[in-house]
Amino acid sequence: MSRVYNFSAGPSMMPLEVMQQAQSEFLDYKGIGSSIIEISHRSKDYIAVAREAEKDLRELLKVPDNYSILFMQGGGRGQFAAVPMNLMVGSGKADYITTGNWSEDACTEAQRYGDARAVKADYRSEDGLIRVKTDLTFRDDVDYVYYCDNETVCGVEFPEIPDAGGKLLVADVSSNFLSKPVDVSRYGLLYAGAQKNVAPAGLTIVIVRNDLVGRAMKCCPSIFDYKIMTDKESMFNTPPTFCWYMAGLVFKWLKDLGGLEEMGKLNRAKADYLYGFLDSSDFYRTAVAPEFRSRMNVPFFLKDESLNDKFLAEAKAAGLTSLKGHRILGGMRASIYNAMPMEGVKSLVAFMEKFAKA
């Protein structure tokens, strides 16, 4: 079997060991004579899968007892709407820290449901690099402050949790979920689409503090109402059962690896290796200041962009795929999520060095 190194921003590369286990269990899950995708989500066998996955995730993230974990559908864009419909219900106001495409889109969606204000934090400094303001001011009476922890398009990641001035903090952590330890207690709500670091596309994980549940707007669809989903243990409707099962396998893979502390070290090492090469080269360039560079998504540009197509074609021939940058930004982008091994990053750097010399 010949597999490439897949640098896609999502759906993305998954751990080989996880896929091999899923393959071995696919036709006959633990001797029941059926595939995991064929059995009822309310069956004893599947309930055990779901509960164990939730337990493992709670252990990995050290989720406090006063938080619920929901396994939902609708992706990040679904939560762009679900968050304000569940939480923007006091003053009807929220401040959105915008640092790129996804936080801007979230703010635009929230404006359908209340007074959502964009607080622009990204800017280009005199050296032409993207940076993020840290001395932000928020309105006194907002129901929450929202931000996207890692912007996949431009490759900006917050090095620290932003200071919300004591206000309720909500975060989209889709593209760096489970890539490092996180203090869940600092947040009112976290959510993540699974297709970056957790599972195939189709599952969205929401971690919400229990006192914030049960306040949804009347217009909120039942499927997005956190109280209904909590009361029904994420089984209000048929959940994405295969994705939930795959997420459970990934949680165990992370635990076997040593947990999020170890995963964080590995991700830091991968990112440092790739950025170190980019910084040493005059053939490639990056556009984000070092202190705000994403460990997950690394956009870069060739000095001569007329060579872009040639670069992508030769990279694909070398077994390095999905390196084309987002249509908004152009250039190249290497997404190096949890499942990307250091060997893949080293292979990319070796190819880039060879291409530049040629």
**pLDDT tens digits for 7-46?**
999 999 999 999 999 999 999 999 999 999 999 999 999 9
pLDDT digits 0-9 by tens, 290-320: 999 999 999 999 999 999 999 999 999 999 9
C-beta atoms surrounding 290 within 10 Å: 11
- Residues 325 and 111: their CA atoms lie apart, in Å, by 29
102 as an active site residue: the answer is yes
Q: Are residues 233 and 274 in the same domain?
A: no
Total number of domains in the chain: 2
Is residue 90 domain-resident?
yes
pLDDT digits 0-9 by tens, 246-296: 999 999 999 999 999 999 999 999 999 999 999 999 999 999 999 999 999
Q: Last residue of some domain: 233, 256, 279?
A: 256
The CATH number assigned to the domain holding 236 equals: 3.40.640.10
Catalytic one among 56, 122, 143, 196? 196
The CATH number assigned to the domain holding 289 equals: 3.90.1150.10
Q: Are 105 and 77 in contact (CB under 8 A)?
A: yes
pLDDT at site 328? 82
Q: Last residue of some domain: 256, 288, 308?
A: 256
Rounded to the nearest 10°, the torsion over CA 343, 348, 354, 356 is -150
pLDDT at site 347? 98
167 as an active site residue: the answer is no
Q: Are residues 196 and 291 in the same domain?
A: no
Q: Are residues 28 and 136 in the same domain?
A: yes
Q: Are residues 219 and 291 in the same domain?
A: no
- Residues 242 and 338: their CA atoms lie apart, in Å, by 20
Q: Are residues 198 and 54 in the same domain?
A: yes
pLDDT at site 134? 87
Q: Are residues 206 and 238 in the same domain?
A: yes
Q: Are residues 136 and 213 in the same domain?
A: yes
pLDDT at site 38? 97
Q: Are residues 63 and 210 in the same domain?
A: yes
- Model confidence at 151, pLDDT cuts 50, 70, 90, reads very high
Mean pLDDT, all residues of the chain: 96
pLDDT digits 0-9 by tens, 213-250: 999 999 999 999 999 999 999 999 999 999 999 999 99
- pLDDT of 84 over the 90 cut: yes
Is residue 4 domain-resident?
no
- pLDDT of 159 over the 60 cut: yes
> What pTM did the predictor assign?
0.96
Q: Which residue is associated with the tokens 């190249």?
A: 332
Catalytic one among 56, 95, 102, 253? 102
pLDDT digits 0-9 by tens, 313-348: 999 999 999 999 988 888 999 999 999 999 999 999
Q: How many CA atoms lie within 13 A of 168 on its CB side?
A: 21
196 as an active site residue: the answer is yes
- pLDDT of 1 over the 60 cut: no
Q: Are residues 293 and 206 in the same domain?
A: no
Q: Are 114 and 64 in contact (CB under 8 A)?
A: no
Strands 150-151 and 156-157: antiparallel
Q: Last residue of some domain: 256, 278, 299?
A: 256
Catalytic one among 143, 172, 227, 244? 172
Residues of the domain holding 196? 17-256
Phi then psi for 124, rounded to 5 degrees? -100, 125
- Model confidence at 127, pLDDT cuts 50, 70, 90, reads confident
